[in-house]
Amino acid sequence: MAIATVFGVAAFGWPFLVAPRSGLADGLDAWLIFGGLLALVTVTVLTLLAEGTLDAKAVAMLGVLSAVAAAVRPLGAGTAGIEPLFFVIILGGRAFGPGFGFVLGSTSLFASALLTGGVGPWLPFQMFAAAWVAMGAGLLPRATGRAEVLLLAAYGFVAAFFFGLVMNLSFWPFALGSTTSISFVPGDPALDNLTRFLAYDLATSLGWDFGRALTTALLVALTAAPMLRALRRAGRRAAFDAAPEFVMSQDPAGSPGPARSQTR
């Protein structure tokens, strides 16, 4: 996950890192980012499986939650920033940990893009940003009860702004040309470009991001308690790898009957 995060920071933050004549001043190709992300997600899954953090129950839950997130995303369709997908990946990352969350964020955005026809050069950036959002939920400090619900709702509010911020960064260098006061200027000091980018984000996306943040916080607050109980119970009690146990049955007369298997 650390390697993936470094790779993602480079993919998003190249305007502040490269010189104008470096060959990268026109941006990183989306196919390169997508290929790298898929490889990193695969390695993350294999690592989690190898160390026992991800078992058959978690893999099954990963598929279920990815499908649910993909199904609920069209309900908002991004209108006014409303993105119901985020409460699903935040609660999944919280219930099953940061590694699970990283993979869940990536697979959920990929599945939803296939479902809604949203495949394009923006997709790998969306997958990275969503992976960070879900991973962050798994890294939050321990809490229980109402405190955990409030913590997750506050995190969802902040994470929604973070998602909008980094997604703006993925296309800001190409969005305005070079003639405005908030345009990307290749070769300028990183602090100057960062100031222009923040001004661009405030001018173009604040209202949109606020809608996403408010929706996410409300959905998390309303669903966190029952969903977390259900997810954690499913993770504990799903008997995908239970071993059969043979016991002797008794007939009504009290004599031993044939052995039969029971799964506990």
> What's the pLDDT tens digit per position in 196-224?
999 998 888 888 889 889 999 999 999 99
Burial class (CB in 10 A: 0-12, 13-18, 19+), 140: middle
Confidence check: pLDDT of 184 > 90: no
Q: What is the pLDDT of residue 25?
A: 44
Confidence check: pLDDT of 20 > 60: no
250 or 61: which carries more pLDDT confidence?
61
Q: What is the pTM of this model?
A: 0.78
Residues 210 and 82: beta-carbon distance below 8 Å: no
Segment 221-232 shows an average pLDDT of 92
251 or 193: which carries more pLDDT confidence?
193
Confidence check: pLDDT of 16 > 70: yes
* Residues 135, 98: Cα–Cα separation, whole Å: 4
Reduced 3-state DSSP string for 47-77: HHHHHCCCCHHHHHHHHHHHHHHHHHHHHHC
Residues 138 and 96: beta-carbon distance below 8 Å: yes
Confidence check: pLDDT of 26 > 50: no
Burial class (CB in 10 A: 0-12, 13-18, 19+), 253: exposed
Q: What is the pLDDT of residue 119?
A: 77
Closest CA to 36 of 13, 60, 57, 11: 11
Name the band, by pLDDT with cuts 50, 70 and 90, for residue 248. Answer: low
Residues 12 and 166: beta-carbon distance below 8 Å: yes
Mean pLDDT is lowest, of 2-16, 97-111, 232-246, for: 232-246
Each residue's pLDDT tens digit, 32-82 = 766 777 777 777 777 777 776 667 777 888 888 989 988 888 876 556 667
Name the fold adopted by 2-238: Arp2/3 complex 21 kDa subunit ARPC3 (1.10.1760)
Q: What is the mean pLDDT of the chain?
A: 80
Domain boundaries, the chain: 2-238
Q: What is the pLDDT of residue 79?
A: 63
Q: What is the pLDDT of residue 243?
A: 54
Segment 167-176 shows an average pLDDT of 84
Name the band, by pLDDT with cuts 50, 70 and 90, for residue 29. Answer: low
Each residue's pLDDT tens digit, 136-151 = 999 999 998 899 999 9
Name the band, by pLDDT with cuts 50, 70 and 90, for residue 228. Answer: very high
Segment 232-241 shows an average pLDDT of 66
Confidence check: pLDDT of 91 > 90: yes
